[in-house]
């Protein structure tokens, strides 16, 4: 993690933000070839294989190729497995890895993403505006897929669309 943090901070200090965004895939690919070459793990978003996930200070596992976090990979797995991609999907603050995957055209709440809700509080807010929320709880971790245990995902349906 220390090498990753050091390189990330150094690159951010040297290159302008627009240059980083434009060349992110090349930078990540080069980084993986140097430090994460292998086939032990696989990201279900970018489908790339590598030796291990980058471990963050909080224990989160970052894909070295696309930068996805466990919650991004869990959500993508749900969307794919349950065929939600055939309908409308609204994600209030999509990670860049999911944004690219879903090829979104609009942002929803990116700039003011500062509210934190409990699961119960978010369910109440969704119900008040006419959604039918469903909480999926995952208790099994997967090291090879970089998924955490004890994770909740809220699916909300709107019947009058």
pLDDT at position 42, please?
Answer: 95
Question: pLDDT for 66-82, tens place per residue?
Answer: 889 998 898 888 888 87
Residues of the chain with pLDDT under 50: 105-114
pLDDT at position 91, please?
Answer: 64
pLDDT at position 12, please?
Answer: 84
pLDDT at position 83, please?
Answer: 67
Which residues, other chains included, contact 64 with Cβ-Cβ below 8 Å and sequence gap of 6+? 28, 31, 32, 35, 36, 50, 53, 54
Produce one character per residue of 40-77: b if its CB has 16 or more CB atoms within 10 Å, e if not: ebbbbbbebbbeebbeeeeeebbbbbbbbbbbbbbbbb
C-alpha span between 98 and 104 (Å, rounded): 9
pTM equals: 0.70
pLDDT at position 112, please?
Answer: 47
pLDDT at position 103, please?
Answer: 65
């Amino acid at each position: 993690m220390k090498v990753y943090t050091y390189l990330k901070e150094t690159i951010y200090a040297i290159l302008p933000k627009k240059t980083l965004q434009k060349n992110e895939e090349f930078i990540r690919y080069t980084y993986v070839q140097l430090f994460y070459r292998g086939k032990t793990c696989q990201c279900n978003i970018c489908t790339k294989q590598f030796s291990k996930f980058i471990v963050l200070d909080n224990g989160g596992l970052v894909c070295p190729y696309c930068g996805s976090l466990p919650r991004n990979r869990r959500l993508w797995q749900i969307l794919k497995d349950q065929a939600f991609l055939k309908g409308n999907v609204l994600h209030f603050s999509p990670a860049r890895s999911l944004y690219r995957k879903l090829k979104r055209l609009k942002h929803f709440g990116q700039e003011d993403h500062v509210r934190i809700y409990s699961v119960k509080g978010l369910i109440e807010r969704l119900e008040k505006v006419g959604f039918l929320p469903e909480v999926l709880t995952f208790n099994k971790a997967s090291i090879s897929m970089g998924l955490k245990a004890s994770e909740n995902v809220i699916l909300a349906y709107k019947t009058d669309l």
